[in-house]
Amino acid sequence: MNHRGKIKIDFEPLGKRGDCFTNNSILECAELTGLGINNICGGHGKCHKCKIQIMNEMRSEPTSAEKDIFSPEDLAAGWRLACQTFPDTDCKVHVPPESMTTSQRLQVEGLALSVPLQPNISTYDVTISPPTLANAQADADRLIQTINSQYNLNCDRIDSDVIKDLSHNLRLFNWKCNVSVYNNEIIAVTSSSNSLGFALDLGTTKLAGYLIDLTTGKTLASKGMENPQISHGEDIISRITRIIESPKEAHHLQKVIVKAINRLSLQLCKEINASISEIMESIIVGNTAMHHIILRLPIKQLAYSPYIPAINQSIDIKARELGLHFAQGSYVHFLPNIAGFVGSDHIAMLLSADIRKMDGLVLMLDIGTNTEVSLIDNGNITTVSCASGPAFEGGHIKDGMRAADGAIEHLQITDASVNYQTINGVTPIGICGSGIIDILAQLYDAGVVDKGGKIINSHPRVRKTQDQLEFVVVDEDERSGRTSITFTQKDIRELQLAKAAIRAGIQTLLNVTNHTEDEIQMVVLAGAFGTYIDISSAITIGMLPSLPFNRFKHIGNAAGIGAKLALISYDKCIESKNLPLNISYVELANNKNFLNLFVEALSLGNN
């Protein structure tokens, strides 16, 4: 077409609207609108990183590039490449998180959540008549009576720390105040009307915190922070070992993490000019070991077979009992764990999806050092925990690194060169998990690596070092003389072990529930890493089952989303407590077939 018609494109879920011309691709329109979509190959339909879904009737004829990667089912559902699609009429476009650039993805996390607002905490504006000799009712009794009659509540308790300041505060505030109530208990009496919630995904390596306005349900700020316990043990097992060896260490590690949470929440509050004491409720999710460490629960029985948690069911505890500086009487809720190696972060992930409304068989994965996988079948959940190891977080990989600025997160190997995209577009310094999977998939597809995972030396960028073969991703010249970034034979072995653990876990789930792969209607990928990986690559290396692209869904930091949902929705909070009743946990260490499946799953390719 050569007339430049004006059209409007709505980009979801960010809700941005762009004024575009009909001879622009959707990728170009997005750029004009200020929306970052991945693009490694320069808009030539080669890197396949700009996948989008067109949500209305406007359908452009698929190009050959699109036909290569999408199944007819996917194409019919509106899946296209943004660089290959030139709309000629107004349309609505869904941009999945994995196609967004990093900074854009963060914006998505700030969106209001899609449940009715029904927080556990309510805040009321109260004016009290001052006492006299003729009406000398006690301060707390007077407050409770006033709020109950004014708002038709059934408050019957007041936090023991709140009472300590109540007499002073009521007089200071001249008998006008804001009162926060949780479960019939007055947990804060303030002069501010702010009512904030704090959701935390407490990971082994990273803390992700979210500050929520409990009166609107909106995410006001969010922030990640490295878990400072890393200096006391990179992985959770080494931290557990230290605690078992020295009880003092348990105390120290708890202090360290509490201090970090106080700092993180303080930073979040500063961003919106609020006070940390305005945080009226918190939800913390994390793996079982982190849960035990912050709650000072015993860890020894968790470390040895049969890996028994001290407690799985949900825990409500006053923030101050942990050392957190939130509102005086505020509670922290720990969602339930599932097993020794499946924590409340997995419960939160399940919560983020609307399991009751799921049709057919659904697989949900949170990929990391430990990969938790659940198979959901009509509300019944079966869960396994796969020891996938640190490869996906860059661990044990020669030039591996965490997903941070300068990490190669996606790349495309052509005949002799490599195109890559780094996080935030800065000079490459290493390769993160999604990049590693891309490399292996493309080397396998190009025949450089065989089904068994062996480099068979047929690419200009493969070279032999002292002891092994390696593929040069960024050479010395490209790095202005600094050491090259390479992907080695040993790296491939690490990746094989990691992906086989996951794939064998999936297969075990299917076996114990008497299902087959092709019955899976949807595969939901959660977690930072899950959001970034390229599904085609993951299928190519045999990490995920070979299903139409349309059946895969990235949901970002689902643990964080689940925690936020439990914060703003009483129903979701109750659902989280009841979820474990529907979960059967399958211990892979106790499963006779697992080892067979694991060995089979070491091969690359899918069948």
165 binds its own copies (CB under 8 A): yes
CA distance 598 to 89: 50
Looking at residues 304 to 333 of the shown chain, list those that interact with its own copies (rule: CB under 8 A).
305-313, 315, 317, 321
The count of chain residues that interact with its own copies, using the rule CB under 8 A, is 46
**Residues in Cβ contact with 129 at an 8 Å cutoff, skipping those fewer than 6 apart:** 135, 146, 175
Does 129 sit near its own copies (CB under 8 A)? no
Identify which of residues 1 and 134 has a Cβ nearer to its own copies in the complex: 134
The sign one gets for the Cα dihedral 418, 424, 429, 434 is negative
> Cβ closer to its own copies: 159 or 281?
159
Which residues 6+ apart lie within 8 Å of 463 measured at CB? Answer: 469, 470, 472
Q: Which amino acid is at 213?
A: D
Residues 449-478, interacting with its own copies (CB under 8 A): none
> For its own copies, which stretch binds (CB under 8 A), given 67-75, 132-140, 532-540, 595-603?
132-140
Q: Does 147 bind its own copies (CB under 8 A)?
A: no
For residue 315, the number of C-alpha atoms closer than 13 Å in the C-beta half-sphere is 21
**Please, which residue, 79 or 341, has the CB nearer to its own copies?**
341
12/212 Cα distance (integer angstroms): 21
**Least CB distance to its own copies at residue 361 (A):** 25
Q: What mask of x and - would describe binding to its own copies in positions 338 to 367, judged by CB under 8 A?
A: -xx---------------------------
Decide if residue 483 touches its own copies (CB under 8 A): no
Stretch that binds its own copies, among 174-182, 239-247, 405-413, 585-593 (CB under 8 A): 585-593
Strands (E), 203-253: 206-213, 219-226
Distance CA 458, CA 438 (A): 18
Name the one range near its own copies by CB under 8 A: 102-110, 422-430, 465-473, 586-594: 586-594
Tell me the closest approach of the beta carbon of residue 340 to its own copies, in angstroms: 7
Does residue 141 interact with its own copies by CB under 8 A? Answer: yes
From the list 172, 272, 589, 599, which residue makes contact with its own copies (rule: CB under 8 A)? 589
Angle at 310 between CA 305 and CA 313, to 5 degrees: 120
Q: Decide: is 158 part of the binding site for its own copies (CB under 8 A).
A: yes
Restricting to residues 259-278, name those near its own copies by CB under 8 A: none
313 burial type by CB count under 10 A (0-12 exposed, 13-18 middle, 19+ buried): exposed
Using the rule CB under 8 A, is 125 a contact of its own copies? no
Which C-beta is closer to its own copies: that of 39 or that of 385? 385
Q: How far is the CB of 287 from its own copies (least distance, A)?
A: 14
Q: Round the CA-based radius of gyration of the chain to a whole number and report it.
A: 26
**Other Cβ atoms within 10 Å of 6 Cβ, number:** 9
Choose between 336 and 562: whose C-beta lies nearer to its own copies.
336
Least distance from its own copies to the Cβ atom of residue 269, Å: 26
Separation CA 334–CA 312 (nearest Å) = 10
Integer Cα distance of 580 and 181 in angstroms: 28
DSSP per-residue letters across 247-277: HHHHHHHHHHHHHHHHHHHHHHHHHTT--GG
Nearer to its own copies, 336 or 368 (CB): 336
* Cis amide leading into 336 (omega within 30): no
585 binds its own copies (CB under 8 A): yes
Q: Is the dihedral of CA 32, 36, 41, 46 positive or negative?
A: negative
Chain residues that interact with its own copies, rule: CB under 8 A: 131-134, 136-141, 144, 156, 158, 160, 163-168, 171, 295-298, 300-301, 305-313, 315, 317, 321, 337, 339-340, 585, 587, 589-590
